[in-house]
Structure 1
Amino acid sequence: MAELARLRDRNFLVLGRAGMDLYADPPGTRVEEATRFAAHLGGSSANIAVALVRLGCKAALLTRVSDDAVGRFCLAQLDAYGVDRRHVRVVGGEARNSLAVVETRAENCQSVIYRNGAADFAMTEADVEAVDYAGFSALVTTGTALAAEPSRTACFRAFDLAREAGLPLILDLDYRPYSWPSESFAAQVYARAAALCDVVVGNDVEFGVLAGNPEHGHAVARDIVRQGAQIVVYKMGEKGAVTITPDGEYATGIYLTKALKPTGAGDSFLGAFLAGLAAGLPVRDAVLRGSAAAAMVVARVGCAPAMPTGPKLDEFMAAHPGPIPEGT
């Protein structure tokens, strides 16, 4: 496994999707009642890259976008947020960027996803082989990139190349059932990927999928550390998270907030968690920064535009006494 100290170079390569999110406007409006929408950058990997940049790191995205107006929107948004897009390839033909039509609602929030022929799933081994991995401090991948070919093969090839360059491998499980042929197949692929990674982050449902049984997710998270991972974060929504390392495990709670929507929490958590590790914070403190960032993002409109800056995250944490322990 790679040395996590390399994260302190603060220069991340993030592999996976960028897309367009259309939010029914104003906040609280149902999609079926909406007459206008606000457009924002979306896609879990793009959101993570934005989170990292806003917290003082560098981030480059490795993916494909469609050669059309939506793809160009994504490219323009990446530029606006300061995400390096030199490794984003534009693909023509029938490939289309991911599009999500979403509501800003805390309860009964609808999210309608259009991902047939997704451009990012067309990423190939040639795309990942064109990258100079030695120039980065870590490779971050979301599970969405593993859901279809040729992206899946390209992703594992990127793992090999990053490992050869000494980069830590970081995986956000990011399970989206509609992207996979079956849950059992997803479990097989996730198991193969997790066994290669230094840091694995996911929620209880995702680890349950990896285990093949929702009741065994926590046990599988522990097994991943026994197999060689250095950090596994097992998130449980409102119940907080359990962080597992070779030295043991501990639970942390959540920061209370008035949520506007359920989306974006996982991406903001991972970005702030990694930025914390890159700043040299102890693992527990980095987890708490991730939890605070997640609380901030669910209380704001959008995902990418909701990602906090470092000063805003510090201000939020200073104004809150600490995370609420599980069961309170």
Structure 2
Amino acid sequence: MPDIITVGEAIIDFIPTLPGKGLADTPAFEKRPGGAPANVAVGVARLGGNAGFVGKFGQDPFGRFLLQTLAENRVDTAAAVITGEAKTGLAFVTLKENGEREFIFYREPCADILLAKEEIHSGYIQETRILHFGTVSLIAEPSRSATYHAVKLAREAGKTVSLDVNLREALWPSLNQARKEITQALQWAHLVKVSEEELNFLVGPGVSLEEGATALLNLGPDLILVTLGARGCYYKTKKSGRTIRGISITPVDTTGAGDAFTAAMLTRLADWGLGHPRQVTSLSPAILEEFCFFANIAGALTCTKNGAISALPLRLEVENRMGLKAK
């Protein structure tokens, strides 16, 4: 049984063959496997962890391609569902010269939204150590109910629940609904990964990292991880908080960097023997700092290649940049 299970969307990312242009000016695109929860599952596996994925795939060439990609990366898909009712979701992603990313999503309807509560295998969820989810699967039914069902099963079984805020504004009916749903999701998570921009969205601009992270902690989580791009990350628990540096790289494509960070953090927690949410609160500052630095490197290395899943690093690559002897 996988130690870490992710639940949510697996989609196709179309990335430009000529970087630095806006979507309207891009002459051609190349397909790449993507979807934040799927990226995290592959990221865990590439770092030597034991990962599983729960989601719904279209019975089409893109769906088969995604399932094949997960299998090739040693991600367990025993609980995956295939449907002929809708096709696999698509996203066109580009990074302009000014560093701004553009997204266009084709998701209405798409297969991952159709994941139903009844298709969640309770035993699969209850036997894992860590369940990870994001907010994209909370936008619409029935995937919203299915996701919360999986989260509740994990909580009731005493497992650790991880959340990636992963705000995709274009997908939500309104920003007010997004803020309300994400705030509710935060109450179910033991650890939360959020970008600095997403933190500002949730708690308001002009708030310090410490104040913003504390506000999220007050909703129920035990650990807040704020990614800061090239500056590294900031972690906050009820006992401590600190900014942890990253490494210097020449970025090519930032797609998937946050997913690599999350995968690295979850992998190290599983390595450490995390089996119960109470253990999150027992992590010492020294351990958290080491884990965060490891995760910062994983995220940074992902930025040195194009795509998301195709750019996720191996454990040896991360450990070499840490100066550690590979196991």
Normalising by structure 2, we get a TM-score of: 0.86
Question: Which residue matches 1:283?
Answer: 288
CA contact (8 A) 1:199 1:230 kept: yes
**Unpaired runs of at least 5, structure 2:** 273-285
Q: Is the 8 A contact 1:12 1:59 kept in 2?
A: yes
2:5 maps to what in 1? Answer: 13
**1:57 aligned to 2:52?**
no
**1:250-269 to 2 correspondences below 5 Å:** 250-269=242-261
Matched, 1:97 2:97: no
Alpha carbons 1:265, 1:294 under 8 Å: kept: yes
* CA distance, structure 1, for counterparts of residue 159 and residue 39 of structure 2: 21
Q: Are 2:173 and 1:195 equivalent residues in the alignment?
A: no
1:179-194 alignment to 2 at 5 Å?
A: 179-194=171-186
Work out whether residues 240 and 252 of structure 1, in 8 Å CA contact, stay in contact via their aligned partners in 2.
yes
Q: CA RMSD in A?
A: 2.3
Aligned pair in 2 of structure 1 residues 103, 189: CA closer, same or farther (>3 Å)?
closer
* Alpha-carbon separation, structure 1, partners of 2:165 and 2:102: 22
Give the structure 1 partner of residue 205 of structure 2. Answer: 214
Match of 2:73 in 1: 81
Alpha-carbon deviation of 1:246? 1.8
1:34 maps onto 2:27 in alignment: yes
1:136 to 120, 128, 141: 128
Give the direction of change, closer, same or farther, for the CA distance of 1:301–1:205 in structure 2 (3 Å limit): same
2:104 is the alignment partner of 1:112: yes
- Give, as a single letter, the amino acid of the residue that structure 2 aligns with 1:101: F
Deviations 1:162-193 (A, max 9, x none): 11111101000001011111111111111111
1:278, distance to aligned residue in structure 2 (A):
2.0
C-alpha distance in structure 1 between counterparts of 2:266 and 2:170, whole Å: 28
| Counterpart Cα distance in 2 of 1:216 and 1:29 | 33
* Cα offset, 1:26, TM superposition: 5.8
Could you say if the C-alpha distance between residues 33 and 184 of structure 1 is closer, same or farther in structure 2, counting changes exceeding 3 Å? Answer: closer
DSSP-derived class of the 2:120 partner: helix
Judged with a 3 Å threshold, the aligned counterparts in structure 2 of structure 1 residues 246 and 33 are, in CA distance, closer, same or farther, namely closer
| Contact 1:15–1:139 (Cα < 8 Å) also in 2 | yes
Give 1:28 shift.
Answer: 5.8
Shift of 1:296: 0.5
Q: Residues 112, 179 of structure 1: CA spacing in aligned structure 2 closer, same or farther, 3 A cutoff? A: closer
* Equivalent residue letter for 2:72: A
User: For the residues of structure 2 that align with 1:316 and 1:216, how far apart are their CA atoms?
Assistant: 33
Matched, 1:296 2:307: no
Aligned residue among 300, 305, 319 for 1:314: 319
- 1:128 maps to amino acid: I
Cα offset for 1:101?
2.7
Q: Is the 8 A contact 2:16 2:30 kept in 1?
A: yes
Residue 314 (structure 1) shift: 0.9
Give the corresponding residue for 1:324: none
Letter aligned with residue 98 of structure 1: G
**Aligned equivalents of 1:26, 1:189: Cα separation in 2:** 36
Can you list the C-alpha shifts for 1:41-92, whole angstroms capped at 9, x where unaligned?
1111111000000011111111111111111111111111111111111122
In the alignment, residue 34 of structure 1 is paired with which amino acid? P
Residues 177, 111 of structure 1: CA spacing in aligned structure 2 closer, same or farther, 3 A cutoff?
A: closer
- The answer to whether the Cα contact below 8 Å between 1:297 and 1:308 also exists between their aligned partners in 2 is yes
Length-normalised TM-score, structure 1: 0.86
Post-superposition CA distance 1:187-227 (Å, at most 9, x none): 1111111112110110122122323x233484342133244
> What are the equivalent positions in structure 2 for 1:144-163 lying under 5 Å apart?
144-163=136-155
Cα pair 2:122 2:153 within 8 Å, conserved: no
Is residue 207 of structure 2 the alignment partner of residue 234 of structure 1? Answer: no
Q: Equivalents in 1 of 2:66, 2:55: separation in Å?
A: 11
What letter matches 1:12 in structure 2? Answer: I
Gaps of 5+ in 1: 1-8, 320-328
Contact 1:13 1:139 in 2 (8 A): yes
Give the Cα–Cα distance (whole angstroms) in 1 for the partners of residues 123 and 165 of structure 2. Answer: 23
Q: Which amino acid aligns with 2:314?
A: T
Q: Relative to structure 2, which stretch is displaced further, 76-85 or 219-228?
A: 219-228
Paired residues in the alignment total 308
Counterpart in the other structure of 1:323: none
Structure 1 residue 253: deviation in Å? Answer: 2.4
Opposite residue 196 of structure 2, the aligned amino acid is D
Q: Secondary structure at the match of 2:235?
A: strand
Distance 1:176 1:242 in 2: 22
Partner of 1:5: none
Residue pair 1:186, 1:210 contacting (<8 A) in 2 also: no
